[in-house]
Chains A and B, each alone.
Chain A
Amino acid sequence: MSHRVCQIKALAGLSVLELYRRKDLIVVFVLCAVILLPLMVFTPFGVSGASRYVNEMALLLVWLFSLVIGLGVSARLFPPEFESRTIYPMLSKPVARGTVLAGKYAGALAASVSALAVFYAAYGLLAGVRQGVWFPAVLVQAFALHIGFLAVVTALGLLGSLVLTPSANLTMMGLTVTGMLFFGQRLSALASAQAWPGRTVLTLLDWFGPHVEFFDLRQRVVHEWPPIGWDVCLAVLAYAAGYAALCLMVAAFAFRKKRF
């Protein structure tokens, strides 16, 4: 058991190193600074004091870049191994296919979450300096739920990397996640307004699609609404864990059947 944990840790460590070696995070950080710094000193109609629009833009960028990093990291885990055939020595170590999958997933998630932690720390400091409120409970909840979002996204990216080509995977998962972010809340209402077969398709999508909008607490953070109940928070995190586990089970099945 401990041997397997060591293997998973080694595989996960490689994925984290890969993210920092490519310096994606630095590029993203510079981009955020270029967008946000002019907004921070902007005084519309010569009146200062507005901060929510900066917070909203900052959180939008955090969401956008966390999606890009999460999906990018998870989707790039297996295809280079297949192309360069380094998957053979890895599997002949011997490391079980399930262990490889778990290690890769843990690595993708750890890398994405480490980047997310940096983003939220920067956001918390920025908001604290501007508004004098340091890391309120709703921000902590937003971070926790955002980790849930990344758990689902990386699992989807990993699954896609085993059954689709890299570009198709990125396109499909990107569209699915952004589509669910925008329309997930309205799917049941949209489904009930349709005739068959549209209703069935939308209902199935509502049941089985990744409801990533559950993890989006931006509105509460930006507009200073009170935090959600911890029972809701736990329910949403349980949903994330369940959905990610389901994706990984399907991915394990696909990986077992995969011929290199």
Chain B
Amino acid sequence: MSGQRLQLWLLLVGAGVAVALGRAIPVCFEGRLPQTPGEDVLSLILGDARLELSRALGEKAEEYFHGGVRNLNCTIHSDAVGRGHEGHDAEARGIKEGEPHGAHQHGDEGEHASGHAPGGGLWQWINASVHEQAHRHLEGLQMVEMLPWFWAACRLSAKNTQAYESSAYVLAYELGKPEEGVRLLEDGIRKDPAKPELDFFLGEIYFSKLRDMRRAEACFVSAREKCLPAQRDAARAEELLRLRLRAVFYLGYLAKQRGDLDRVRLCLNEAESLAPQHHTVRDLRVLLEKSGTKNQ
């Protein structure tokens, strides 16, 4: 009987020690424990794998863009050049829409893209017939089919800038919902404020879709400022330089719209100092040389 009582007391003492340690450890070793407080469940479970999973979901969306066919040579990003948001650079430069300025050409419509050439054996013939490989795209409102995958990609990792950009592109340019695109990009900027791409793209939506030049200018200024420290990253230096030049061009263009020629000159000087041979320099010179100003 006394043995049982001793066991009971030992059990109670053990439980008390466990509870006390459980309460004391987070207080005593605050900031030194492996899990940081406030992290969401996804980041606790997946850690850095979130970005990879997010990219995989982005690729799935790209697959949907091609009707279920994985095509590495053509993405919604490459297709947007000349068709969508980057085409508004051209719009600002006074180039007519429809001109093949950087347009993404598809000379391989209907061709088999995966190398399942008919005649490469019976199995290959059956596979090529059963699994469609022709090159086609979703267009316009059909692009809504990509959104669930982009949504999941954005939710999984805020560092997947491309998923945010592509989602916003589909929302703003293909589905005619720029407000939704703006909301998404603002959310992305809040979660990962160091990346200038989202600011720039947000500026483009304000500029070309919402015609809110004041907010567009603020976004381009922010993108340009974020490019400065980020350009030290050697791997992305070239890409960020291009982005900064584009932001500078937009700033110059908006200044010209206001009649602020001094600001246009400043932008031209900045562009010349960054890349004297770049077409942005030429375009800004053209802006300066044109007489008169346009009202907003």
A-to-B contact residues, CB < 8 Å: 42, 44-47, 49-53, 145, 184-185, 188-189, 206, 211, 213-214, 216-217, 219-220, 222-225, 228-229, 232, 235-236, 239
Q: Nearest chain-B residue to A211 (Cβ)?
A: B123
Contact of B180 among A46, A185, A216, A223 (CB under 8 A): A46
Which A residues lie within 8 Å of B175 (CB)? 47
Contact of B184 among A45, A228, A229, A239 (CB under 8 A): A45
Which B residues lie within 8 Å of A53 (CB)? 145, 148-149
Closest 7 CB pairs of A and B: A44-B151, A223-B68, A219-B68, A232-B129, A223-B67, A53-B148, A44-B147
Other than the given A188-B121, A214-B130, A219-B68, 13 more pairs (CB < 8 A) read: A44-B152, A45-B180, A45-B184, A47-B180, A50-B145, A53-B149, A184-B127, A185-B116, A219-B69, A219-B132, A228-B129, A229-B129, A236-B126
Name 9 A/B residue pairs within 8 A (Cβ), A-sorted: A44-B150, A45-B171, A47-B177, A47-B180, A50-B146, A50-B147, A189-B115, A217-B130, A228-B129
B-to-A contact residues, CB < 8 Å: 64, 67-69, 115-116, 120-121, 123-124, 126-127, 129-132, 141, 144-152, 167, 171, 175, 177, 180, 184
Which A residues lie within 8 Å of B115 (CB)? 189
Contact of A185 among B64, B69, B131, B152 (CB under 8 A): B131
Contact of A47 among B132, B149, B171 (CB under 8 A): B171
B180 touches A49 (CB 8 A): no
Q: Nearest chain-B residue to A213 (Cβ)?
A: B127
B123 touches A50 (CB 8 A): no
Q: Nearest chain-B residue to A206 (Cβ)?
A: B123
User: In the complex the two chains form, what is the Cα distance from A206 to B123 in whole Å?
Assistant: 9
Which B residues lie within 8 Å of A217 (CB)? 130
B126 touches A47 (CB 8 A): no
A219 touches B131 (CB 8 A): yes
Given contacts A223-B68, A225-B132, contact A42 B127 (CB under 8 A): no
B171 touches A214 (CB 8 A): no
B147 touches A45 (CB 8 A): yes
Which B residues lie within 8 Å of A185 (CB)? 116, 127, 131
User: In the complex the two chains form, what is the Cα distance from A217 to B145 in whole Å?
Assistant: 19
| Shortest Cβ distance from residue B73 to the other chain A in the assembled complex, whole angstroms | 18
